[in-house]
Amino acid sequence: MLTTKKLSKASPLSELKRSRFEKYSVILSKAKEVRLVDLKSNPGLFNPQAFPSGRLIYHFSDHNDDSETLFLHDFEPFRKTFLVVGIMQWTDRLTDDKVRESRNNLKKLFPNVVSHFIIAFDAPSSATTKVDGVHLINQDKSNLVTAVCEISSRFLAEFSTYASSYQHVTLRSPGSIIGSKRPTPGLSLMAKQRRRISGSFDLNVEKSKKYKTKGRRLKLYANFYLLAGNLRNSLSNFCEAIFYLKSVNDYLWLASALDGLSTCILLLARVDTAFQLPGFVSTLLDSNSSNGRDSVLMSPFSSPASSPRPSLQLPVSISSSIQASSSVQLSPLPLSSIWEMIHRIFAKTFEFYQSTFLQGEDCVPLIVFCECNLRFIGLFTSVCIERELNRSVINHTVYGTCLSRKRIPEDIGDFDHVEFSGIFSQIFSDRFEELSTEQKCTIYDFMISTCDKLRLFRKKSLLVNGFIQLMLSTGLENYRYIYTNAELREVLDSHCQVYGINAAEFPSFRNEPNVLQKKMLFEVFEFCQQVSFLEGVVKYGSILLADFPTLLTDGEQQTIYKGVREDMSKTEAKDIRYWDQQVLQNIEFRNESNDYLVQNELSDALITVRNPFAFDIEISGLQVCSADDTFSLTTQLNSRRQNLISIQYNVPILLRPRTTVSVPIFLVPDSSGKLNLVGIMASICGCDTQLFKTMDDQSNEDDNAGNRMKCKSISLKNTLDVVKQPMSKTRVWSVNVIYEQPLLKLVEVKLSNKWILLLEGECKKFDITLKNYSHVEINNMVSTFIDSTIEPLNQLLTNKNLSPNEVYEIEYYLIKKKPFQILNKKEMQYIKGNNSFNLAMEIWGKRGVKEAKLILEYSHKRKEDTFNEYDFTRSITIPVNVSVYPSVELVGCDIIPLSSRTKVSTNNHGDCWTYLEKMTSQSYKMSDFCLLALDFLNSWTEEMEVTVQCLLTGSTNADFQEQNGPIVPLPEDSFNMRLNLRSKKSVRVLIPIKRMDFTEEMLNQRIPSLRNKQFIYDSRTPLAEQVFIKHAFWYRDELLKRIRACWKIPDKVENSVYAGRFGTIDLRSIRFSSKMVSILEVEKIGLNIQLLDTQEKEIDSDAVQLNTFYTLRVILKNRNDTAVFGMLRHLPVCRGSGTPLEKKVLFNGVLQKSIGKELKPGESRQFDLGIVFLEKGEYEWGALFDEMEKISGKMAIKDQHLQREQLKVKVC
Amino acid sequence: MSYYFSIIGNNDAPLYELEIGTYHQSGDGTPHLPKEIHQLEQFIVNSSLDILQDIQFKNNAIFTKNLDNFYGYQIFSYLTQGNAKFIILTDLKSHDESLRQFLIEINELYVKTLLNPFYTVNNPITSSGFDTRVRLLARKYL
């Protein structure tokens, strides 16, 4: 309560530092209350002994605003500064002269102030001064209270002198001093009022003037007494003033007197002093406002009717009543009655003040009216908080001590809203604009805290908003220094909270932002900028950018961004979050068809980020984050210039306004296992580095449905509750990381000119040097060879009409006959880290090869690994440049039979005949062999030496066909020949082949598939052809197991760089016809015819005699696995004449007959037929065996076996 | 005389706003709100909810006149069944009945808007048809 305080001012002297001045001010303010009983008496008006229980209460201030309120000093003297205390620090150099000079300066500086004193702090106890009005305070401050008492005593004496100067002054209303701005009501209204006054109570003008003057003076003195602590005199003066002022309807001063009376009553209650108001005051207060003016005019008088001239008796009655009340021993009123009384007094005060609004000069100054309202509302609020007027309310009002609680209890918010609203509207009326900015600020300040105490948060926010508007419109930045950052933060945060924005937490809110919130935040942001509350600029700007991008215009966004960026670096605020939490849109791996990464290796990824704002954003320190902290991950930017890999570190990514950009990066996982990526860490636009996640699209809808606001929810509390709910699920990118893998590089291919020239069939060895550049060993390596023939061959294989033997042939070339061979295959299975390795290679000159590649697929595999479900391999391709030239080619083949009668001519001296002679000289017959005729063509430019070797039986070596070079060692019974073949010449080579005797079972085996393809039953090819194909295949297979041909460029060839080179001739182009097969095979049923004489001696068939008895013996041999049964038929043919055979040959028996018992496997049987030739000529005697089922009566022929060599007989 | 009319959702968010002047007394419907009121009108309306939320549980009236007062501007309110609020801020005195009629008819429009399957409660009302009808009603009553 301002009126209770003795306004005093503390000023620094002698260049005292600000901090020290503030320290002394605090010390001094502790002694702000002085009891009058402690003061020295003085003979003046304000003798403290007159009311010993009174107190002087100082209101220390370090600034002087007297000039602003000068016109109010007569009306409300408590606004004046009465006392100035100069504060200085004691030093040894401080002499009396200096102190005196300081005091004089103080007087010059504040000439209108009643008393001037100097207090020197930190003086030693021995220090003294003789200068009047100077007090020395010891370092222990023990004499501070004494000094203040002395000052107070002295002040009261001087104040008495000051007050006495008002004895004869005519007091004027403030409006008449400054000139009223309010419209003066018309004369008619004034006259009406006068008329009404005069109608009720007749006072002549002179008396009225006298009463008015007296009343005003009494009111002024009452204020003086109040200031001097003499409450009793103050009360009586106020009451007396009320009487006089009421009687002349001087409403302005009357209201002021009532205002002062309320203060006086409160202070009396504080000092527990009993009092009694005169009857007319009570009557005045009791009168209701509707007929107030008329009734209160009479109310001071107990009975107007009983006293026709009561006015003459008034002073006596008032004085006596007050005197009586003071002399009679009364008990103090209960506080509840005091509050009721004060309440009524204020109601009257406002009523009277309002009635002055149209009274021109006597109109109440707006600041007076507002402050009166503020005083009441302050007390009203305190009473509402405490639920009653009690000691703590009084102490809070007088001393500013704390109440038992900060705000009105939430459950008891039922104070009189209407009354508050009425006072509120009185303060913030349409005249509010007339107040000065400082006054407005003070009112805003007070009302904001009041609304906060009363939990009228929206109202408070309205005032905060008005205050912000005021600050923005007037540029009153200095006002900001009254508040600390923490206070500003609290006020603004609670301001935001009223509008559903939880500024202190993140996220601030989740509901749809609305224009009101945006407008409010934008104003708060601008306010923070204006008052340089940097933390606020960043905070509220961030909320705007984060939650209101759709409501902000581009210009606003850019303004806010600029402001936030500028202040971000200046403020110490931490945890500045970037405004778009959905900046990360996607993480995409760019592995080609692989869904895993490799430990410690770069893998390509794309991060899609967006910029929804109207300004550029920069992303720096981009790091991809895994869910597991132990799974560390390195992120590097890929600048991708012209498709070159280029790694960049710490280069910010710039995103243009409203764009979505895919940023190429490299990820390097530092360990292996399951990697779960949850988002990216980045610092965007200078904000703190934070983790950005992406919402999982699928889970969003459910959450939204749950969070939808219900109609019945009526408060913003629900909005804030929603904010506290956890966010919906975030997306996780899972990828497997396999453990570290080796890296192999090609060091060198050891070839001259890096090119190989090969003749067809030639083999060459060379080395390839590789190095494992990683520290991880290679323990798994697979080699693949690719040459230019593979593709056409594969193409051929797709033809489904190929016969199985052709398929086998292609497969053979693809799988068995590879162009490369690694000679040290076992060694290459294990290559240690950082080691070099030599690969010994052999390359074979395959026809048609133009280019060849060696592909090595390698990896590191762990035995204990259960995770590696991905068969990771890395491959290295080693190209080998090859040219293959044709050498000796096989251009044709045939098989020529040999019969048992074949004779080697003396002209035939070839190796073949020599070999045959050699073999027939052993136990072999000529008919056991046949001749394989191979036509070789030398396609090379130089003479070639061709060697052909043939084993007697097929080699048991499985790799025989794949091997190159001559057969080593060559068995004794093998055929071997050599010949020279000139360039571009062909030659036919005859090779004796022992005929092959295979069982049906073996010949009917399926043709194998080297690719392990499933057997498909062939229904299109005729069965007989299928049988032939199989037979031909197995015979050819056997043949290729026996025979091998090689070429060599003889050393003797002059001037040849190729001399000495050798190779193998590819014989796989041999194909069998059915005739060739039949020549090659040994018949299953052997039919041999012999012509015997009567002594059973075989005779020469060229010298058979006429009319001589011979025996024709057929020897039947069963070479099958099963017993056979059938008919033997003789087929005699006579060449030449047309005479029937019956007339040329006589035979004893039948030409066709059953063989009788079945012929068991391996068994031979003879069938003799006696014959006589009757005519000369040449005969051919053949035999046929019809194989039949051994079922009686069934004559179906199962198979026919023809005799291979017919008996040729020449009868002479 | 000028009016500021606002529909406040049950989450205190403004759903619709209109600043309009009177059509009576030779007015042409142009609002003449002072600058400070224009700046603060949304906040004044919002602050009146403190009192409205207190008194709405104390009496049955859905129309409240002189709910609050700020800078000499009166506030009138109308509560809907869904707890949305229609608030009028005006410098007009003693024109209660026509304001009440205006707000009753606005309520009908608002209910029709709620019936729109494409409108969700508490979303801003952006329909130009709604705006036109409100202006017509303002012309009739204000």
- A524-562: pLDDT as tens digits: 888 888 888 888 888 888 888 888 888 888 898 999 998
Residue B49 touches chain A, beta carbons under 8 Å: yes
> For residue A650, what pLDDT band results from cuts at 50, 70 and 90?
low
Are the CB atoms for B76 and B97 separated by under 8 Å? no
A13: alpha, beta or left? (left if phi > 0; alpha if psi -120 to 50): beta
In angstroms, rounded to a whole number, what is the distance separating the alpha carbons of residues B99 and A882?
102
For residue A415, pLDDT beyond 50: yes
- CA–CA min distance A714, chain B (Å): 5
Burial of A832 (0-12, 13-18, 19+ CB in 10 A): middle
Burial of A424 (0-12, 13-18, 19+ CB in 10 A): buried
B30 φ/ψ angles, rounded to the nearest 5 degrees = -85, 130
Mutate to test the interface with A, among B11, B42, B59, B114 (most CBs of A within 10 A): B11
Express each pLDDT in A92-109 by its tens digit: 777 888 888 888 888 888
Nearest to A417 among B14, B47, B54 (CB): B54
Express each pLDDT in A473-493 by its tens digit: 776 666 666 677 788 888 788
SS3 label, residue A286: helix
Q: Can you read off the two tokens belonging to residue A314?
A: 């008034």
Please judge whether A516 and B44 are an interchain contact, meaning their C-beta atoms are less than 8 angstroms apart: no
A874-885 and A756-759 beta bridge pairing: parallel
In angstroms, rounded to a whole number, what is the distance separating the alpha carbons of residues A503 and A525?
12
Query: Which chain B residues are Cβ-neighbours of A430 within 8 angstroms?
Result: 71-72
Residue B37 touches chain A, beta carbons under 8 Å: no
Please judge whether A711 and B11 are an interchain contact, meaning their C-beta atoms are less than 8 angstroms apart: no
> For residue A131, what pLDDT band results from cuts at 50, 70 and 90?
confident
Search chain A and give the residue with CA nearest B10: A714
Query: Which chain A residues are Cβ-neighbours of B69 within 8 angstroms?
Result: 421, 424-425, 428
A507 φ/ψ angles, rounded to the nearest 5 degrees = -75, 155
E strand residue ranges, A81-186: 83-89, 115-123, 134-138
Give the torsion through C-alpha atoms of A773, A777, A780, A783, to 10 deg: 30
CA A421 to chain centre: 52
Please judge whether A520 and B68 are an interchain contact, meaning their C-beta atoms are less than 8 angstroms apart: no
A1164-1173 and A1145-1148 beta bridge pairing: antiparallel
Query: Region A644-663: what's the mean pLDDT?
Result: 76
Residue that has been written with the tokens 């600041």 in this structure: A367
Query: Region A268-289: what's the mean pLDDT?
Result: 77
A1177-1188 and A1152-1154 beta bridge pairing: unpaired
For residue A186, the model assigns a pLDDT of 43
Nearest to A604 by CA among A665, A690, A649, A528: A665
Nearest to B71 among A428, A459, A499 (CB): A428
Query: What does R_g of chain A's alpha carbons equal in angstroms?
Result: 65
CB interface of B with A, residues 80-139, below 8 Å: 82-83, 121-124
Residue A960 touches chain B, beta carbons under 8 Å: no
- CA–CA min distance B134, chain A (Å): 20
A120 φ/ψ angles, rounded to the nearest 5 degrees = -105, 115
Mean per-residue pLDDT pooled into runs of 10, chain B (142 residues): 89 88 80 83 86 82 84 88 90 80 92 91 90 90 82
Q: Can you read off the two tokens belonging to residue A1160?
A: 């068991």
In angstroms, rounded to a whole number, what is the distance separating the alpha carbons of residues A110 and A64?
10
A617-626 and A596-598 beta bridge pairing: unpaired
A690-692 and A780-787 beta bridge pairing: unpaired
In angstroms, rounded to a whole number, what is the distance separating the alpha carbons of residues B87 and B67?
10
A1059 φ/ψ angles, rounded to the nearest 5 degrees = -55, 135
CB interface of A with B, residues 1014-1033, below 8 Å: none
Query: Which chain B residues are Cβ-neighbours of A433 within 8 angstroms?
Result: 36, 71
> For residue A307, what pLDDT band results from cuts at 50, 70 and 90?
very low
Are the CB atoms for B45 and B89 separated by under 8 Å? yes
Side chain identity, residue A727: M
Q: Can you read off the two tokens belonging to residue A955?
A: 């080699």
- CA–CA min distance A396, chain B (Å): 27
Please judge whether B14 and A461 are an interchain contact, meaning their C-beta atoms are less than 8 angstroms apart: no
CATH number of B2-141: 3.30.450.70
SS3 label, residue A772: strand
Give me the helix-helix angle, A366-386 and A391-399, nearest 10°.
150
Are the CB atoms for A280 and A301 separated by under 8 Å? yes
- CA–CA min distance A252, chain B (Å): 23
> For residue A928, what pLDDT band results from cuts at 50, 70 and 90?
confident
- Bridge partners for A1207 per DSSP: A1181
Least confident range from A189-203, A402-416, A817-831: namely: A189-203
For residue A1148, the model assigns a pLDDT of 87
Express each pLDDT in A184-234 by its tens digit: 444 444 444 444 444 445 557 777 888 888 888 888 888 888 888 888 888
The angle subtended at Cα A689 by Cα A685 and Cα A694, nearest 5°, is 90
Query: Region A1022-1044: what's the mean pLDDT?
Result: 90
Nearest to A71 by CA among A432, A367, A438, A446: A367
Give the torsion through C-alpha atoms of B46, B48, B53, B59, to 10 deg: -150
Query: Which chain B residues are Cβ-neighbours of A410 within 8 angstroms?
Result: none
SS3 label, residue A831: strand
Say how many CB pairs under 8 Å bridge A and B.
96
Are the CB atoms for B51 and B66 separated by under 8 Å? no
CB atoms within 10 A of CB A1188: 18
Search chain B and give the residue with CA nearest A431: B71
Residue A711 touches chain B, beta carbons under 8 Å: yes
Search chain A and give the residue with CA nearest B56: A714
Residue B50 touches chain A, beta carbons under 8 Å: yes
- Bridge partners for A647 per DSSP: A638
For residue A242, pLDDT beyond 90: no
Nearest to A461 among B11, B43, B51 (CB): B43
Give the start-to-end residue ranges of the domains of chain B: 2-141
Least confident range from A496-505, A760-769, A942-951, A1079-1088: namely: A496-505
Residue B66 touches chain A, beta carbons under 8 Å: no
Query: What does R_g of chain B's alpha carbons equal in angstroms?
Result: 14
Query: Which chain A residues are Cβ-neighbours of B124 within 8 angstroms?
Result: 514-515
Give the residue with greater pLDDT, A807 vs A399.
A807
Query: Which chain A residues are Cβ-neighbours of B36 within 8 angstroms?
Result: 433, 466, 469
Nearest to B121 among A414, A461, A711 (CB): A711
For residue A1191, pLDDT beyond 80: no
Please judge whether B14 and A709 are an interchain contact, meaning their C-beta atoms are less than 8 angstroms apart: no
Are the CB atoms for A69 and A79 separated by under 8 Å? yes
Query: Which chain A residues are Cβ-neighbours of B11 within 8 angstroms?
Result: 500, 511, 709, 713, 716, 718-719
- CA–CA min distance A458, chain B (Å): 4
Indicate the length of chain B as a whole number.
142
Alpha-carbon distances of A996 from A178, A1031, A1033, A1035, B125, rounded to whole Å: 145, 11, 13, 7, 102
Residue B61 touches chain A, beta carbons under 8 Å: no
Mutate to test the interface with B, among A421, A447, A521 (most CBs of B within 10 A): A421
Q: Can you read off the two tokens belonging to residue A101?
A: 């000079």
Query: Region A861-874: what's the mean pLDDT?
Result: 67
Query: Which chain A residues are Cβ-neighbours of B50 within 8 angstroms?
Result: 456-459
Nearest to B12 by CA among A497, A689, A62, A768: A497
What is the helix (H) or strand (E) element at residue B56, kind and residue range? none
Please judge whether B69 and A424 are an interchain contact, meaning their C-beta atoms are less than 8 angstroms apart: yes
Nearest to A981 by CA among A1053, A923, A1058: A1053
Nearest to B43 among A417, A428, A462 (CB): A462
In angstroms, rounded to a whole number, what is the distance separating the alpha carbons of residues A348 and A343?
9
Give the residue with greater pLDDT, A866 vs A1064.
A1064
pTM over 0.95: no
